[in-house]
Structure 1
Amino acid sequence: MRPDIVIVMTDQQRAGLTRRSGYAVDTMPFVDGLAARGTDFRNAYTAAPACVPARTSLLTGRFPSVHQVRQNSNAQYAHFQQDLLDVLRNADYQLHFAGKPHMHRGVEDFDTYAGPYFHTQGPARNAEENAFDDWLERLDHGVADEPTPYPLETQLPYRITTDALLAIDAADPRRPGLFWVSYPEPHNPYQVPKPYFDLIRPEDVPDRRSGPEATEIKGGTYDWLRKLQQEKRPNYDHNWRRYAANYLGMLRLLDDQIRRLHEGLAGRSRPRVTIFLADHGDYVGEYGLQRKGAGLSEFLMRIPLIVTGDGLEAQQRDEPVSIVDILPTICEAVGAPIPDGVQGRSLLPLAQGADAPDEEFGSIIAEQGFGGRAYDVIERPPLHFAYDGPTFDELNTVTQSGAARMLRSGRWKLVVHADLAGELYDLDNDPAELVNLFDDDVHLAVRARLLHQLARWQARLTDDLPNGNYTPLRLPHNWRWAPRGEHHEHH
């Protein structure tokens, strides 16, 4: 019997902020319970630190430079042979979506579609929900310094969960289903009602690794983003602990809604594979920054990723994996072929407890940049600036110009830019990435090895599409660096 596939996605949730992952505050006890019962991928990475490129990578199993969606405004140009919806539709799945889309698929592609929800609005069923959405809009993506003056039931995660439960109850029990629930939180605006507002007092928020002084150390786009945010909201970082406290409260609010969702799913008698993940992270005050924007730091790139289901192991895995691995994992879970052009690797054998070939899972890459030369601080391009001041919705993306690639391999992190200096960090000794070792003579051998690994990844990610008469040689699970001699698959 083919399993139901459940995808629970949050927006801008940084890894490492739950009790199970070592954080001092118990933010997501139910999700931590899922991690304890399933496979907890502790080194999972997004493909890009922006919503639409990352979500397109999830759907297509391809990196942004290949699916060609490298910014939040061009989802309609996604390039692929088959994506997740095609695969599941061909396998006779019913398709249900509730929440924030930010993707190349729309209402007509699903059997039921509740949305679109975005960060300050969603389909409203009554005057109180309308009033809450208007209040969110007036908050201007900022930080609320008081509890939200509307009840929990008006919050977008609650409304999205309600919509998802209606779809679950109405779904055909004879057919497997995709149930994709996509929450806009904990993305800004940063607000929560009681009792979540009181989960932790600002003065009790754990210290951050680095403050505003770090942007001067890192320089470049980090320093520029800090100055842009200061220009938009003078002295905003003085309130960073309130911002962080709201963010942590939002995580607990989400956790309660995810628990509610799972209680509703229990009524389905089919086996189930559940994937919990985020599209990318949030600074949460690190470097004196909010939201996202500059760079490829671990705070933005690492995401939670938990896979649970019948026949899957309860375990923690430390291999570096990616959001692009979700599509091939689902393909293998439902017995469907992995489409041509997919660059991700199935994680199903890992979730079943199998060993991972070190060559295949010893490193991972990610991307940033929507093209062109990286903007300089003296430049004020249209869209990002209005009336000589930064527009808040866009001040983060102006620092995502140009093109960059990162590689994570063990304790090492390499970042290469098209037109800026290189970066090399020892994450064991420098988790905030403040000591750049790229030009350090002592680390020349490490740099050379990582550059070679990055070059191999770049060769691997050359697009195989469009198909021609030649037949690419594929290995099982799309593990292209698996040991020679394994059974081959032809497509």
Structure 2
Amino acid sequence: MMDTARRYDHVVLISIDTLRSDALGVHPHPLWPHKYQNIRPVRTTALDELAGRGAYFPNVISAAPYTAAAHGAIFTGQYPLHNGVHEFYNGSLRAPSVFTYGRRDGRTTVLKTDFPIILGNELGFTRDIDTYVVEQDDDFIDAVAGSESTVACAHFGAVHSPYGFHNLAFGGDAYRRKVTELEEGLPRDLPFGDLLVESYRDREDTELLVRYKRAIAYLHSQGEYDRLFQLYLDGVEHFLKTRFGPFVERLTQRVAESGKRMLLAVFADHGEEFDDRTNGHFNSMAEAVLRVPLIIVGDGVEPATHTSRIRTVDIAPTILDLAGIPAAMTGVFDGRSLASVARGTDKLGDDAPALAEAYTSELQDFVAYQQRQLSGRHPGPLEHFLVGHSAYLGDRRVVRLTRQYSQWFLKTDPADLTWVERFDDAGVPRPEPGADPGPLLALLDDYRTALREPEQVPMTEDIRGQLRALGYSV
């Protein structure tokens, strides 16, 4: 690691929930033009400018297609089966995070989230956090600018459905108008399927969210994937223009006024996709869901685009290394530090091997669980099962699905589907029938040994004698 003298006073992470990598206009090889028709490209100026100023990685594979497990991997640099949060909601983060290391380095730790039900105390995300903020962007900026040094993260949920708005406080009348517009021409007797919420909402806010989700679920059931993707891109543009861009400007100005240095890392946890297998990102192994962007900006970071594949588990060791925050670079992280690449002193090299897994519970079971939780009752257990997983080696990846969703994504049925894809020169995955999935499946099987119970070694008299010779009383 670099000199322990602080290179950056503030290390600020910005997580844009549900931002697929090729939503950025600056992306060198977007996937979506190969799939969707008659799409109006949107302006992503705020992100494009940051990408031009820093080390830009457009090919980052997320460890999971949902918020909790994806963020756990990002914050700890460990894959979900290793850090304690791998299921859709169960578990608790037990591995040290960037905030743990920041605290040990004497820094104030700050976390702002738009999804307090997910990135909150229940799953261990408030551990080692000094200041925890919900949805209040300016409070986050005040907390960072008012501290001597920080490790901080601002999580934004507004690219997630309802696309671009997040809630009434941020979306206002534009959000109300969009819901009314979406419902025009829709049947009146549509079922209420997805009643899940990620943040605390009043009655009108909750009703608007459910109506929005019901409308997009109906559009998906009718195969209107192009319309849904345009809706998603429009939401990205609205969020960047109305909230993200102004936020970054205010944060940068406040830090500059204090005479401090800032290392900024912008990333996503997963993307969004629409087809006959995927409605958004819900436990999907679609490449556009798993491929996310990473942008690192700061003094000493060399502006460049690095297109080889990396992983979200590489983010924590890279940021800690760049910032000079002490952490063991071997034996702790599943990812690797790319600090020398970001500084421009090293080449990125070949595509890294990567893993992704998705677990879920039945939607209605989770809705009932969450309703018990929000009412203050003990929610009880929530059954989860593996939906699918994917492994990457070289120019290939394998996808293995163990469940498939029914219409409206309300329940899953057992499945046994495995296929191999090869990435072409533009990074587009193409099915490769007849390819041997063996080496790729072996990577998945090796990873899943973390779930196995340790074998019990029988206590023999020989072992007992050896332990006694070492001073143990057995």
Is the shorter-chain TM-score for this pair beyond 0.5, marking a shared fold? Answer: yes
Give 1:312's aligned residue.
301
TM-score (norm 1): 0.63
Structure 1 residue 321, shift from structure 2 partner: 1.1
SS at match of 2:21: coil
Q: Distance in 2 between matches of 1:228 and 1:401?
A: 26
Q: Distance in 2 between matches of 1:47 and 1:239?
A: 28
Please list the CA deviations of residues 293-343 of structure 1 after superposition, one character each: whole Å capped at 9, or x if unmatched. 253112210111111122121111112111111221133222412274321
| Amino acid in the other structure paired with 1:95 | T
Give 1:363's aligned residue.
353
Give 2:419's aligned residue.
423
Q: Distance in 2 between matches of 1:90 and 1:341?
A: 16
Structure 1 residue 461, shift from structure 2 partner: 8.1
Give 1:109's aligned residue.
128
| Amino acid in the other structure paired with 1:79 | R
Q: Distance in 2 between matches of 1:235 and 1:454?
A: 32
Structure 1 residue 10, shift from structure 2 partner: 1.0
CA contact (8 A) 2:17 2:268 kept: yes
TM-score (norm 2): 0.65
> Does 2:390 match 1:406?
yes
* Residue 15 of structure 1, aligned match among 21, 26, 51: 21
| Amino acid in the other structure paired with 1:78 | L
> Does 2:174 match 1:180?
no
Distance 1:236-1:401 versus aligned 2 partners, 3 A rule: farther
CA contact (8 A) 2:66 2:283 kept: no
Q: Distance in 2 between matches of 1:311 and 1:36?
A: 14
Unaligned 5+ runs, structure 2: 31-39, 166-170, 176-213, 370-381, 403-414, 452-474
Alignment of 1:65-464 (within 5 A): 65-75=81-91, 77-80=92-95, 82-100=96-114, 101=116, 102-103=118-119, 104-105=123-124, 109-115=128-134, 117=135, 160-172=136-148, 176-192=149-165, 229-230=217-218, 240=228, 241-242=230-231, 244-253=233-242, 254-283=244-273, 285-287=274-276, 290-333=279-322, 334-338=324-328, 340-356=331-347, 358=349, 361-370=351-360, 382-383=365-366, 401-417=385-401, 420-428=416-424, 436-437=431-432, 440-441=433-434, 444=435, 447=436, 451-452=438-439, 455-456=442-443, 459=446
Distance 1:29-1:315 versus aligned 2 partners, 3 A rule: same
Distance 1:337-1:409 versus aligned 2 partners, 3 A rule: same
Give 2:455's aligned residue.
none
Query: For structure 1, which segment, 64-73 or 408-417, has the greater mean C-alpha deviation from structure 2 after superposition?
Result: 408-417
Query: For structure 1, which segment, 187-196 or 346-355, has the greater mean C-alpha deviation from structure 2 after superposition?
Result: 187-196
Please list the CA deviations of residues 390-438 of structure 1 after superposition, one character each: whole Å capped at 9, or x if unmatched. xxxxxxxx9x9425332234543321346622121234389776x643x
Distance 1:364-1:33 versus aligned 2 partners, 3 A rule: same
Q: Distance in 1 between matches of 2:232 and 2:318?
A: 36
Q: Distance in 2 between matches of 1:327 and 1:383?
A: 30
CA contact (8 A) 2:46 2:240 kept: no
Q: Distance in 2 between matches of 1:269 and 1:385?
A: 50
Distance 1:355-1:83 versus aligned 2 partners, 3 A rule: same
Q: Distance in 2 between matches of 1:13 and 1:416?
A: 24
Identity %: 20
CA contact (8 A) 2:81 2:450 kept: no
Please list the CA deviations of residues 75-97 of structure 1 after superposition, one character each: whole Å capped at 9, or x if unmatched. 4x2232x2222111111111122
Q: Distance in 1 between matches of 2:46 and 2:226?
A: 32
CA contact (8 A) 1:98 1:114 kept: yes
SS at match of 1:186: coil
Unaligned 5+ runs, structure 1: 118-159, 198-225, 387-397, 465-491
> Does 2:55 match 1:39?
yes
Distance 1:422-1:190 versus aligned 2 partners, 3 A rule: same
Q: How many residues align?
A: 362
SS at match of 1:257: helix
Q: Distance in 1 between matches of 2:226 and 2:57?
A: 34
| Amino acid in the other structure paired with 1:382 | D
Structure 1 residue 383, shift from structure 2 partner: 3.6
Q: Distance in 1 between matches of 2:164 and 2:348?
A: 44
Q: Distance in 1 between matches of 2:53 and 2:226?
A: 40
Q: Distance in 2 between matches of 1:431 and 1:287?
A: 22
Please list the CA deviations of residues 206-240 of structure 1 after superposition, one character each: whole Å capped at 9, or x if unmatched. xxxxxxxxxxxxxxxxxxxx999349987876953
Give 2:373's aligned residue.
none
CA contact (8 A) 1:341 1:463 kept: no
Distance 1:337-1:244 versus aligned 2 partners, 3 A rule: closer
SS at match of 1:421: strand
| Amino acid in the other structure paired with 1:94 | T
| Amino acid in the other structure paired with 1:162 | D
Q: Distance in 1 between matches of 2:238 and 2:216?
A: 27
